[in-house]
């Protein structure tokens, strides 16, 4: 749920935008957005406690980032993990300038599955290209699936996908030692494994984000392995669940939010969808502020005067109407547009 700080009164007018936001933010997990006076998004952060985190920002030395902050918005999430996932999605898609350290974590990988039912085998490949070999099914793209990622969904996707392949291998009963390509957290770019044709519908549901019922079935079969392997199988089951949550299911939820049809979704489409979500949040905030401050011909309201005072370097704040017009403009300056 999106929230914005209330209009400043006389005393709050002397506070920084971060301090004003900290005074009204909830003590709840969520994602917060720092905007400059042009209403450009300059930083996205997450917090277990939004109020505490914004207070820390407000009390920090005024570096280049803080001097640019003219407004602060936030979005509450169900828990800290959801906040971390939302933050990572927005950073890799929108590339805010002050998140540059992790903005390059986006991997945007597709999973191609070529099932050879006559041989009872399936080949899993990770590629940047949506094109696949004839007969292969394509899933994704997954922004956080790949090597060298440090975000919560990145670790969950990359470690979890490798764990899913180990679980699949263990369930199929091949060999006595795990193949080297799936013994590390880094997801393999290419892996072929035995596959029961009866598992294909459940595999499709799993990688499409509609059902995780494949995992319990694989786990039951994998647990027939020797006792020394069972602790690792149980761990891989949990990691594969995390991959499902932060990879296939997260992508499906985005598709449903934006009315995308079934099938792969490309990087540009995901970026546009997430950018639109943030634009809509900012537009709703601008409209809410406009309604709080009716133009009755009596001159600037105290809230408008306070808004000007809160801008860095004494710059005048844009009126709510001009903000709303700017947000409707297709040139709305979110990074990467």
pTM of the shown model: 0.80
Higher pLDDT among residues 10 and 72, named by residue: 72
253 in any annotated domain: yes
Statement to judge: residues 275 and 253 lie in one domain: no
pLDDT, residue 46, reads: 96
254 and 272, same domain (yes or no):
no
- Is 23 in the same domain as 58? yes
Predicted local distance difference test score (pLDDT) of residue 321: 40
Judge if 100 and 115 occupy the same domain: no
Which one, of 159, 186, 182, lies nearest residue 169 by Cα? 182
Kindly indicate the confidence band of residue 135, based on its pLDDT and cuts at 50, 70 and 90.
confident
Range of the domain at 315: 2-104+267-328
How wide is the angle at C-alpha 243 spanned by C-alphas 240 and 246, nearest 5°?
150
The per-residue pLDDT for 131 is: 82
Residue 1: the pLDDT is: 52
* The pair of three-digit structure tokens given for residue 2, joined into one six-digit string: 């999106």
Given 258, 287, 312, the domain boundary residue is: 258
Min mean pLDDT across 22-26, 234-238, 240-244 is at 22-26
Give domain status of residue 279, yes or no: yes
Residues 209, 235 share a domain: yes
DSSP tag of 300: -
Count of the separate structural domains present in the chain: 2
pLDDT for 78-108, tens place per residue? 999 999 999 999 999 999 999 977 767 789 9
Q: Are residues 151 and 243 in the same domain?
A: yes
299 is a domain residue = yes
pLDDT, position 329: 37
User: 17 with 95, same domain?
Assistant: yes
Q: Are residues 19 and 151 in the same domain?
A: no
pLDDT for the residue 33: 96
Answer yes or no: is 99 within a domain: yes
Asked whether the beta carbons of 185 and 137 are under 8 A apart, the reply is no
Is the distance from CB of 153 to CB of 114 less than 8 angstroms?
no
Share of the chain above pLDDT 70, in %: 82
Q: Per the domain annotation, does 333 fall within a domain?
A: no
Kindly report, residue by residue over 36-64, the tens digit of the pLDDT: 999 899 999 999 999 999 999 999 988 88
Q: Return phi, psi of residue 120, to 5°.
A: 70, 35
pLDDT score, position 197: 93
* Residue ending a domain, choose from 258, 284, 301: 258
Which of the four pLDDT bands, split at 50, 70 and 90, describes residue 281? confident
Model confidence at 225: pLDDT above 60: yes
Mean pLDDT on 71-80: 94
Q: What is the pLDDT of residue 293?
A: 61
Residue 247 domain flag: yes
- Decide which of 232, 258, 284 is a domain's last residue: 258
User: How far, in Å, CA of 113 to CA of 137, rounded?
Assistant: 5
Would residue 53 count as lying in a domain? Answer: yes
On whether both 11 and 121 belong to a single domain, the answer is no
Tell me the CATH number at 290.
Answer: 3.40.1440.10
Cis-peptide into 84, omega within 30 deg: no
- pLDDT band at residue 229 using 50, 70 and 90 as cut-offs: very high
User: Would residue 49 count as lying in a domain?
Assistant: yes
Tokens 């570096």 correspond to 63
Residues 251 and 157 in one domain: yes
Do 159 and 244 sit in the same domain of this protein? Answer: yes
| Mean pLDDT over each residue of the chain, to the nearest integer | 83
The stretch 288-311 carries a mean pLDDT of 47
- Asked whether residue 157 falls in the same domain as residue 213, the answer is yes
- pLDDT tens, residue by residue, 144-157: 999 888 888 999 99
């Amino acid at each position: 749920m999106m929230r914005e700080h209330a209009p400043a009164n006389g005393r709050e007018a002397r506070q920084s935008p971060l301090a004003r936001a900290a005074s009204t933010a909830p003590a709840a997990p969520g994602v917060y957005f720092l905007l400059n006076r042009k209403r450009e998004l300059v930083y996205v952060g997450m917090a277990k406690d939004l109020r505490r985190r914004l207070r820390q920002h407000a009390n920090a030395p005024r570096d280049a980032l803080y001097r640019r902050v003219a407004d602060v918005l936030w979005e509450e999430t169900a828990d800290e993990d959801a906040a971390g996932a939302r933050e990572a999605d927005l950073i890799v898609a929108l590339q805010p300038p002050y998140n540059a350290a992790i903005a390059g974590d986006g991997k945007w990988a597709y999973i191609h599955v070529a099932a050879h039912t006559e041989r009872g085998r399936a080949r899993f490949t990770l590629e940047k290209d949506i094109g696949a070999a004839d007969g292969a099914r394509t899933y994704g793209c997954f922004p956080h699936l790949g090597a060298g990622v440090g975000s919560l969904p990145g670790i969950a996707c990359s470690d979890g996908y490798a764990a899913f392949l180990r679980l699949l291998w263990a369930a199929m009963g091949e060999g006595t030692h795990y193949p080297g390509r799936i013994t590390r957290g880094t997801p393999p770019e290419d892996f072929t494994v035995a596959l029961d044709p009866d598992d294909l519908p459940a595999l499709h549901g799993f990688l499409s984000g509609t059902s995780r019922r494949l995992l319990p079935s694989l786990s039951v079969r994998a647990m027939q392995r020797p006792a020394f392997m069972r602790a690792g199988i149980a761990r891989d089951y949990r990691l594969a669940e995390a991959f499902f949550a932060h990879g296939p299911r997260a992508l499906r939820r985005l598709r449903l939010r934006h009315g995308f049809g079934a099938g792969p979704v490309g990087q540009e489409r995901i970026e546009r969808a997430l950018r639109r979500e943030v634009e809509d949040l900012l537009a709703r905030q601008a409209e809410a502020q406009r309604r709080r401050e009716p133009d009755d011909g009596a001159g600037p309201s105290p809230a408008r005067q306070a808004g000007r005072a809160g801008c860095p370097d004494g710059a005048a704040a844009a009126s709510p109407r001009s903000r709303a017009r700017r947000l409707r403009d297709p040139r709305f300056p979110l990074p990467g547009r």
